[in-house]
Amino acid sequence: MKKLQSTMIFAAAVLVSSLAMAQTTPVGKWHNIDDKTKEIKSEITITEAGGVLSGKVSKILRKDAKPDAVCEECTDARKGKPILGLEIIRGAKKDGENNVWSGGKILDPENGKEYSLKLTPEDGGKKLAVRGSIGPFGRTQTWVRVE
């Protein structure tokens, strides 16, 4: 009986710790916030395959957004593609043992520019610091995890 009880406690501890770890990754659904209006612009879904992250616009939530909008400013194969479903994050990988993902690119569909990307989960995985930069210049947005 004690052995079964110990095994159950161990299994519960492993489950709780793995759930906590899962929340400290960028994988999941996120709301990005407009820098000026502070309103939610869209929902981004970040997935991982083979240790590489990608992210797509899964919902457009801006009040004035056109549901059939396309990426007119894009300069690659995404030009003319619908914003809804558009892959805006490509190629980020975990950066060593720390809790940072980098090495990828992020696209701003409003201006068609791609930026170097750095993703850092914060606040126990409830927030995501998303840094886009070109050389030494860049800016960081805070995305909020969708519950």
Q: Consecutive 10-residue runs of the chain (147 residues): their mean pLDDT?
A: 50 41 82 92 97 97 91 96 98 92 96 97 97 95 95
Inside any domain, residue 9: no
Question: What is the structure's pLDDT at 23?
Answer: 58
Question: What is the structure's pLDDT at 82?
Answer: 97
Q: What's the pTM value of the predicted model, to 2 decimals?
A: 0.83
Structural domain for 109, as ranges: 25-145
Inside any domain, residue 110: yes
Inside any domain, residue 36: yes
Inside any domain, residue 102: yes
Question: What is the structure's pLDDT at 97?
Answer: 80
CATH code: domain of residue 60: 2.40.128.520
- Scanning the structure block, which residue is given the tokens 């919902």? 59
69 CB contacts (<8 Å, ≥6 apart)? 60, 82, 83, 84
Inside any domain, residue 132: yes
What's the angle, vertex CA 78, arms to CA 73 and CA 79, rounded to 5?
40
Inside any domain, residue 1: no
Inside any domain, residue 3: no
Inside any domain, residue 14: no
142 CB contacts (<8 Å, ≥6 apart)? 33, 122, 127, 128, 129, 130
Helix and strand numbers, DSSP H then E, in the chain: 1, 8
Q: State the total domains in the chain.
A: 1
